[in-house]
Amino acid sequence: MNPDATYRVETTDDALKGVEKISGLDLLHRGLQLSLRGDYDSAVIVFERLPSAASVSTTH
């Protein structure tokens, strides 16, 4: 995780509610609050690092 980056967060179920984008700094310091039930519940979490405004190239 890069603390200066922004990440898109997705899950394959509803284990993570209300979070679509989060900063790397928040992930490193606060983590994610998951809604898991039972001893064998699990979740797949996919993080996609979003391009920063400085690294996005435009063509005219």
pTM over 0.75: no
Q: Using CA atoms, how far apart are residues 26 and 39, in angstroms rounded to an integer?
A: 27
**pLDDT at residue 53, as a whole number:** 60
pLDDT at 54: 47
Residue 46 · residue 27 · CB < 8 Å: no
15-52 pLDDT, tens per residue? Answer: 777 778 899 999 999 998 888 888 998 889 999 999 97
